[in-house]
Structure 1
Amino acid sequence: MASGIHMPGPVCLIENSSEQLVVNQEALEILSSMEKPVVVVAIVGLYRTGKSYLMNKLAGKQNGFSLGSTVQSHTKGIWMWCLPHPQKPEHTLVLLDTEGLEDVKKGDNQNDCWIFALAVLLSSTFIYNSIGTINQQAMDQLQNSFIISSVEPEDFLTEDASYVTKLTDLIKSKSSPDQSDVDDSGNFVGFFPNFVWTLRDFSLDLEEDGKSITPDEYLESSLALKKGTDENTKRFNEPRLCIRKFFPKRKCFIFHRPADRKQLRELEFMREEELNKEFVEEFEKFCSYIYSDSGVKTLSGGIIINGKRLKSLVETYVNAISSGSLPCMESAVMTLARIENSAAVQKAITHYEEQMNQKIQMPTETLQELLALHRTCESEATEIFVKNSFMDVDQNFQNELGTQLEGKQDAFVKKNMDMSSARCSDLLERIFGPLEEEVKQGSFHKPGGYYLYLQKKQELEKMYKQTPGKGLQAEEMLRKYNESKEEVAETLLKMDQSLTEKEKQIEVERVKAEAAEAAKRAVEEMQKKHEQLMEQKEKSYQELMKQMTKKMEQERKELMAEQERIISLKIQEYERLLKEGLMNECKKLFQEIQNNKDIVSYLSCTIL
């Protein structure tokens, strides 16, 4: 499925069974195979309002999502259909059809609230589907969708009750324990989806004060607030404030009845030419808007969501709900970051090892040869980590990558040394074996035998040095070999009757000086290798810091852009409230705008 989506029909994503929400593993496997960015369109609404039919049309299919023909809710839980995006080739369209809300057959509607909240959290475009017009009943139904039944109903009837309280009883944006009693709803606009209200079986003329208006203008007119502080006014304003505050980008579509009432039972089997022409035109406009204007699902900081990341979000949110916690955007992002960053480290290390093993020919003649290849492979691995990681807040994964790369480098250096030592050992045994056999047979136990031995030994050393492919342990292994044969040379020197005692003493001193010089060179060579390794490790650290600093700067700019976008949206709403003369609401929103500006100011002064 990585190269293309092949889902003949929807599958259940989240099951609503026995008052428990359970994630379907089959759906998760489908999501985990999807690498392309996802455009997630979710629909909610009362049961038996035609949500599934609308989603089938978005899928470009006559049927797929299950349609019912009775007054009972037909879809249970949340169902998912992944399709190639009809207008964006490098994207996947994910359609989420949800269980009908407020089905009287269910008795306990607690999970309605969670299904509604999950649809908001998972989607990039959120469709609220209802029948008829936008009136107070429709507003109340929308507001009730957010109320979680674990909170006592009378809590929402108190004088200071507000929609914000109800919404934050379902979703949190921050996970800090000391923020548990703080209203963080001002952050919701940053990650809430675009809002589309679809009105089915609409029968009114779109007019206001004798002038024709658009569906969008009808929606905005319906969202107008009343002045006053009495309970009725507060109850009237709450759902409207909710939509205006948390869904600044909103759209409205109206659909006239598609066919006669008797034909509605067979709606999914009816051909387009059998439907009301006006209905068909309205649906075409709706589909066109969803395809062109629904953006990729993103998280705070511009994090683009693909199928794998969507899978993580689904699991994180449902697990939170199942454990009695609240779905939290910040926690979800951090959980996703941990999963992705851990995978990014592994992906980078795997690439490094594969490239080193493919390209290196061990043993290398010099350490620099190996380190040069290491630098290339390490740079590629770091780029892979930077590309696939995000929000490594405490640099834990960056440090993990650095530690592992250093360990891998040390392992390759050791392997290179060991292979060189082994090859040199074999070569020394092969070249000097015949000489050692002559010594055993006493071929040099005669006058002049000592210098004859030295002459042959020097000839063999020359042969050894001229043999290629020994690696960087060549000189050290020869030194150790000569050191191991010092006793043989001393014995031959003592037995050589052609030499005087003085000549023998001079030779002993010469051999000692050569050995000392060889040992000195070995120490110097070891120190040089150590310095090269330390220099390389410092370069590796600096390169990693350079790339990660660039990455963090990019993330900082994305966060600033996100905050500035939020400020712009809030200013637009502030100006609307100001025109309506709602000064109390203006004051609240003005404070939120100032808080967002403080964040931008902090980010702009942050030096990474």
Structure 2
Amino acid sequence: MASEINMPGPVCLIENIDQQLVANQEALDILSAIKQPVVVVAIVGLYRTGKSYLMNKLAGKRNGFSLGSTVQSHTKGIWMWCVPHPQNPGHTLVLLDTEGLGDIEKGDNQNDCWIFALAVLLSSTFIYNSIGTINQQAMDQLQYVTELTNLIKSKSSPERSDEDDSANFVGFFPTFVWTLRDFFLQLEANEDSITPDDYLESSLALRKGTDKKTKRFNEPRLCIRKYFPKRKCFVFERPAPTKQLSKLETVAEEELSEDFVEQVAKFTSYIFSSSGVKTLSGGILVNGPRLQSLVLTYVNAIRSGELPCIESAVLTLAQIENSAAVQKAIEHYEEQMNQKVQLPTETLQELLDLHRPIESEAIEVFMKNSFKDVDQKFQKELRVSLDAKLDAFVKKNMDVSSARCSDLLEEIFGPLEKEVKKGTFSKPGGYYHFLQKKQELEKKYNQAPGKGLQAEEMLKKYVESKNDVAETLLKTDQSLTEKEKEIEAERIKAEAAEAANRELKEMQKKHELMMEEKDKSYQEHVKQMTEKMEKEREEMKAEQERIISLKLKEQERLLKEGFSNESRKLLQEMEEIKKMKPQCTIL
């Protein structure tokens, strides 16, 4: 259980080795063990701006993420700390602390761009931490947000333009939280008090104009407004005198500024209460193994020189989980059949009646554990496998019945065979005596319980195997006339023909039953798939409505500010979203 995971401190999730990003196996193993939904909170910002202090607060610890006390950047790559969620039982809080952006030692900001992009891709809440106020310098430092369209793809299809592709970002981008450290302004506008959120929104206001300077001013603001329609701002006063800032983790809380302590408390409370579970397109909740898969997929794409693609990552994840879902469903079917079906059954119909609800459960197991099964590839695989498993159980049922009947025939007819060998029936009248004895034993055999559906077939085969004995006794019985022997021989032939006819009809009946069962199985697959498609449509509709609602608010703001062109673009994006439908085909 994830709640049992006890990480005493952070571990490196994505190492930054010589400007190359590498997923750390120890961290991946930790994620693979977390079966609970994960709330992923990532923080980015310039180095030496106090990101790690806030993350330690979210972890409920004074120490953990490296704060550093020199001008050197301490956190390299992305570090992870998984802790039980303090407010949501059954959830795990995954904290991601990133290396400081703008580290002059690196000399190349491409690495910073990838760190920034990965933090966006992996988190459900994305915190941007900076010092001072939101001014043009702060916006310039947030250049990475303007480069996201060059670093991330939402769709794998090449025919979509970058503009079309970026329109989808809001569907999977996290909540944006801007934290301002050492904030020194009074939060006022027109002599009225304003909230930090009001301050953020006013700072994101656009300027009118088409010149280069205005475009440079507007670009990061437009990107934040477009990609992060759900956003929040927190301001923090300087926590302590300058000398104490370098060792902030060792300063007792009562020595810190009261306002700072209160502001940190509001920040942590918001993150705990408002940060949602990391969710993929279609309402797919992310747990530890799914987050592990996303990390590997994105890092491998970057290392191979490709753009991380959300759709491809989800499809890769779906391939892994759908394959496992097929296996889970088959294991459930086999386990339940072995538990609930006592072999041999008396009839094939009895076996099929027991099989049907178990198969339905197995399909349900698959549906519950699968997603984005393109063209129902994995469901078709499941259907073929379940058909094969049923055929195997039908054969096993016959084999068990045959073995039981064989033992019973040997037990019941063994004494008769011994009497034949001793010559008991090799005398006048012996044939009819033998026949009477044989009929009594057949009656005893037929009355014996638990033989299964092969009872008649096995008796027929046994009798046929002993026909030469009966024929010999018939031919050598001196009490019978030739005419009587002929009549008896004809009777035996007629009985054999009747038995063969019964066997043929029984085979036809079994074939018809199996065909009917396969049809019922197909209908059950279609029924459950249709129900799941309907549920996915509802989830997609709810997701679209959420995205459209967020975009609509932003569109209204832009229109109110007089930016009709940008407002019109957002309206077009909303129309495109409305047209999207889940891609599904019938089995």
User: Could you tell me the TM-score, scaled by structure 2's length?
Assistant: 0.97
Distance (whole Å) between structure 1 residues aligned to residue 399 and residue 350 of structure 2: 16
- The residue aligned with 2:117 is 117
- The residue aligned with 2:58 is 58
CA offset at residue 253 of structure 1? 0.3
Work out which of the residue numbers 357, 368, 374 in structure 1 matches 2:349: 368
- The residue aligned with 1:25 is 25
Q: What do the CA deviations read for 1:406-446 (whole angstroms, capped 9, x no partner)?
A: 11111011011011111111221222122222222322111
- The residue aligned with 2:517 is 536
CA offset at residue 280 of structure 1? 0.2
1:487-502 residue pairs with structure 2 within 5 A? 487-502=468-483
Question: Retained in 2: the 8 A contact 1:198–1:252?
Answer: yes
CA offset at residue 376 of structure 1? 2.3
Q: What do the CA deviations read for 1:362-382 (whole angstroms, capped 9, x no partner)?
A: 112221222122112212111
CA offset at residue 567 of structure 1? 1.4
Does residue 500 of structure 2 align to residue 519 of structure 1?
yes
Cα separation, partners in 2 of 1:359 and 1:605, compared to 1, 3 Å:
closer
Distance (whole Å) between structure 2 residues aligned to residue 126 and residue 506 of structure 1: 96
Q: What do the CA deviations read for 1:335-357 (whole angstroms, capped 9, x no partner)?
A: 11111111111111111111111
Amino acid in structure 2 at the alignment position of 1:8: P
Distance (whole Å) between structure 1 residues aligned to residue 252 and residue 354 of structure 2: 65
CA offset at residue 604 of structure 1? 12
Aligned residue for 2:509, secondary structure, equals helix
Distance (whole Å) between structure 2 residues aligned to residue 180 and residue 537 of structure 1: 46
- The residue aligned with 1:447 is 428
Amino acid in structure 1 at the alignment position of 2:444: M
Q: What do the CA deviations read for 1:215-265 (whole angstroms, capped 9, x no partner)?
A: 100000000000000000000000000100000010000000110000112
Question: Retained in 2: the 8 A contact 1:560–1:603?
Answer: no
Distance (whole Å) between structure 2 residues aligned to residue 423 and residue 583 of structure 1: 84
Distance (whole Å) between structure 2 residues aligned to residue 585 and residue 182 of structure 1: 13
Amino acid in structure 2 at the alignment position of 1:84: P
Aligned residue for 1:97, secondary structure, equals strand
CA offset at residue 266 of structure 1? 1.8
- The residue aligned with 1:434 is 415
CA offset at residue 584 of structure 1? 2.1
- The residue aligned with 2:321 is 340
Question: Retained in 1: the 8 A contact 2:374–2:584?
Answer: no
Distance (whole Å) between structure 2 residues aligned to residue 582 and residue 375 of structure 1: 62
1:589-608 residue pairs with structure 2 within 5 A? 589-599=570-580
Aligned residue for 2:159, secondary structure, equals helix
Question: Retained in 2: the 8 A contact 1:38–1:91?
Answer: yes
Question: Retained in 2: the 8 A contact 1:560–1:604?
Answer: no
CA offset at residue 560 of structure 1? 1.6
CA offset at residue 360 of structure 1? 2.0
300-309 or 436-445, which deviates more: 436-445
For structure 1, the residue ranges without an aligned partner over 5 or more in a row are: 147-162
Distance (whole Å) between structure 2 residues aligned to residue 16 and residue 525 of structure 1: 71
CA offset at residue 588 of structure 1? 1.9
203-212 or 68-77, which deviates more: 203-212
Question: Retained in 1: the 8 A contact 2:44–2:101?
Answer: yes
- The residue aligned with 2:534 is 553
Amino acid in structure 2 at the alignment position of 1:34: I
Amino acid in structure 2 at the alignment position of 1:40: V
Cα separation, partners in 2 of 1:170 and 1:402, compared to 1, 3 Å:
same
Cα separation, partners in 2 of 1:2 and 1:412, compared to 1, 3 Å:
farther
Does residue 271 of structure 2 align to residue 277 of structure 1?
no
Work out which of the residue numbers 238, 249, 255 in structure 2 matches 1:257: 238
CA offset at residue 167 of structure 1? 2.1
Question: Retained in 1: the 8 A contact 2:58–2:268?
Answer: yes
Aligned residue for 1:184, secondary structure, equals helix
Distance (whole Å) between structure 2 residues aligned to residue 365 and residue 265 of structure 1: 82
- The residue aligned with 1:150 is none
Question: Retained in 1: the 8 A contact 2:240–2:257?
Answer: yes
Does residue 211 of structure 2 align to residue 223 of structure 1?
no
1:23-172 residue pairs with structure 2 within 5 A? 23-143=23-143, 145-146=144-145, 163=146, 166-172=147-153
CA offset at residue 271 of structure 1? 1.5
355-364 or 176-185, which deviates more: 176-185
404-413 or 562-571, which deviates more: 562-571
Question: Retained in 1: the 8 A contact 2:14–2:21?
Answer: yes
Amino acid in structure 1 at the alignment position of 2:27: A
Amino acid in structure 2 at the alignment position of 1:234: K
CA offset at residue 209 of structure 1? 2.1
Question: Retained in 1: the 8 A contact 2:19–2:111?
Answer: yes
Aligned residue for 1:106, secondary structure, equals coil
Question: Retained in 1: the 8 A contact 2:375–2:585?
Answer: no
Cα separation, partners in 2 of 1:6 and 1:464, compared to 1, 3 Å:
same
1:151-550 residue pairs with structure 2 within 5 A? 163=146, 166-179=147-160, 183-550=164-531
Cα separation, partners in 2 of 1:121 and 1:387, compared to 1, 3 Å:
same
User: Could you tell me the TM-score, scaled by structure 1's length?
Assistant: 0.94
Cα separation, partners in 2 of 1:38 and 1:361, compared to 1, 3 Å:
same
Distance (whole Å) between structure 2 residues aligned to residue 230 and residue 563 of structure 1: 35
Amino acid in structure 2 at the alignment position of 1:26: E
516-525 or 42-51, which deviates more: 516-525
CA offset at residue 177 of structure 1? 2.9
Distance (whole Å) between structure 2 residues aligned to residue 180 and residue 17 of structure 1: 33
Cα separation, partners in 2 of 1:426 and 1:607, compared to 1, 3 Å:
closer
Distance (whole Å) between structure 2 residues aligned to residue 390 and residue 261 of structure 1: 53
CA offset at residue 142 of structure 1? 0.4
CA offset at residue 180 of structure 1? 6.3
Amino acid in structure 2 at the alignment position of 1:294: S
27-36 or 131-140, which deviates more: 27-36
Q: What do the CA deviations read for 1:271-330 (whole angstroms, capped 9, x no partner)?
A: 111111010000011011101111111011111111111111111111111111111111
Distance (whole Å) between structure 2 residues aligned to residue 91 and residue 124 of structure 1: 13
Aligned residue for 1:177, secondary structure, equals coil
Question: Retained in 2: the 8 A contact 1:40–1:96?
Answer: yes
CA offset at residue 117 of structure 1? 0.4
Q: What do the CA deviations read for 1:12-35 (whole angstroms, capped 9, x no partner)?
A: 111111211111111111111111
CA offset at residue 603 of structure 1? 6.3
CA offset at residue 179 of structure 1? 3.1
Amino acid in structure 2 at the alignment position of 1:56: N
Cα separation, partners in 2 of 1:74 and 1:297, compared to 1, 3 Å:
same
Distance (whole Å) between structure 1 residues aligned to residue 74 and residue 361 of structure 2: 52
Question: Retained in 1: the 8 A contact 2:558–2:564?
Answer: yes
Distance (whole Å) between structure 2 residues aligned to residue 375 and residue 420 of structure 1: 21
Question: Retained in 1: the 8 A contact 2:3–2:92?
Answer: no
Distance (whole Å) between structure 2 residues aligned to residue 182 and residue 226 of structure 1: 22
Aligned residue for 2:239, secondary structure, equals coil
Distance (whole Å) between structure 1 residues aligned to residue 426 and residue 374 of structure 2: 75
Distance (whole Å) between structure 1 residues aligned to residue 292 and residue 437 of structure 2: 73
Tell me how many residue pairs correspond in the alignment: 587
Question: Retained in 2: the 8 A contact 1:168–1:183?
Answer: no
CA offset at residue 587 of structure 1? 2.5
Question: Retained in 1: the 8 A contact 2:329–2:365?
Answer: yes
